[in-house]
Amino acid sequence: MARELDRSTIKARTSRFVLNIILRLGRYAVLPVVALACVILAVWLMAMDRYTITALVTAPIVFSIVLGASALAIGLLLLPSRKHREFEANVETAPGLWAMWTELDRNFARSRRTLLINTDFNASIGEVSRYAGLFGQHVTMTVGLPMLIVLDEPAVRAVIAHEVAHAELRHTSGCINLADFIAASENVFLYANPEWTITGRILRVLLHSLLEWLEREYRALSRENELHADLSSTERVGRTEAARALVLMEACGTRLADLVYKPLETEMLGAINAPPPPFERIFKQLADIWAPEPIAAAATAGLTREHEPDSTHPPFAKRLANLGYAEIPDIRGISTSAIDQLLARDAAKDIPARFDAEWRKKAQAWVTVGR
């Protein structure tokens, strides 16, 4: 029994070690594979003189390894840069958000910053270190417009504190690096097509297993990181405000789905013309979204809701317990939207209108095709 426990412990530690290397190096984590392939090729070439028959027999294997490694190297070098499609908000557009970020982040002046606004009811932060950090870091905060509309300023502040905690605890670069590694690994199929080459078929099997394992390990690590960030955020906003934001994110997310997104999805199924867009609906439904009794009911239901196995966040009940709450705490309700305090007056009107216009255009094209 002790040996089995030791083996499982060693396996778990080895898996986490490999994952941390990938999260740290990103696309450059494929370089050891390329180096190993070069060593195998060198050994094979040296064996040609003394073990000619053996070398010829193993030639297909060696060439497959070298070609696959070469494709990985090319995929690494030619990996296209990511381009965001969110709205980039400067200091004039979102003075309150920038001021909040500056106040909460002790390392704000040490790296370049970008603030993006998208259509998700969420917030995130990512960090890119170019060439192993030799040229500094670029940190990008993405804040969802629905969150700015539905939550009040203290709740948004607690959410931003949570994201800043991710950056301080060095959780941020891992997500970007993992995406780079996966993209670099998948680029191999541009140069070793699995439908046409044996090398591609072998690599598809190997990479499929690798990427499945990576996603599984990363989800587990991400859930741990969320709990650490929750606790760290309490140093900036206090345990009460952190728990309140957690409850409001859970409850308001449910209310948004029930009052806005699900009805909109139903209307789209039989629509002849595009129905009213999401943000127009959110503004009209704010009073109902903020209603105290439905908010309390949605938060309570969240404690027992079945957790999605593919989620990168731990269950709501576990996050509350991590902050020291065994049940839903008493929280003050929402009476004012954060958008008017954190965005400039014109931006608070123009950004929702812009997103709604983009949605209406796509929705109209969709219902036209469906006629």
In the chain, domain spans = 2-81+183-224, 87-175, 236-369
**HSE value, Cβ hemisphere, 13 Å, CA-based, for 77:** 7
Predicted local distance difference test score (pLDDT) of residue 183: 65
- Give the pLDDT mean for 52-64: 80
pLDDT over threshold 80, residue 307: yes
Q: Which of 67, 290, 286, 301 is nearest to 190 (CA)?
A: 67
Q: Are 150 and 286 in contact (CB under 8 A)?
A: yes
Q: How far apart, in whole angstroms, are the C-alpha atoms of residue 248 and residue 315? A: 15
How confident is the model over 181-235, as pLDDT tens digits?
766 666 666 666 677 766 667 667 767 777 777 777 778 888 999 999 999 999 9
Q: What is the CATH number of domain 87-175?
A: 3.30.2010
Q: How far apart, in whole angstroms, are the C-alpha atoms of residue 312 and residue 319? A: 13
pLDDT over threshold 60, residue 80: no
Predicted local distance difference test score (pLDDT) of residue 206: 67
**What is the C-alpha radius of gyration for the chain, rounded to an integer number of angstroms?**
25
Beta-sheet pairing, 137-144 with 112-118 = parallel
Q: How far apart, in whole angstroms, are the C-alpha atoms of residue 287 and residue 95? A: 26
CA 171 and chain centroid, separation? 11
pLDDT over threshold 90, residue 176: no
Per-residue b/e over 208-247, b at no fewer than 16 CB within 10 Å?
Answer: eebeeebeebbeebbbebbbebbbbbbebbebbbbbbbbb
Predicted local distance difference test score (pLDDT) of residue 61: 78
Beta-sheet pairing, 112-118 with 123-129 = unpaired
Q: How far apart, in whole angstroms, are the C-alpha atoms of residue 262 and residue 266? A: 6
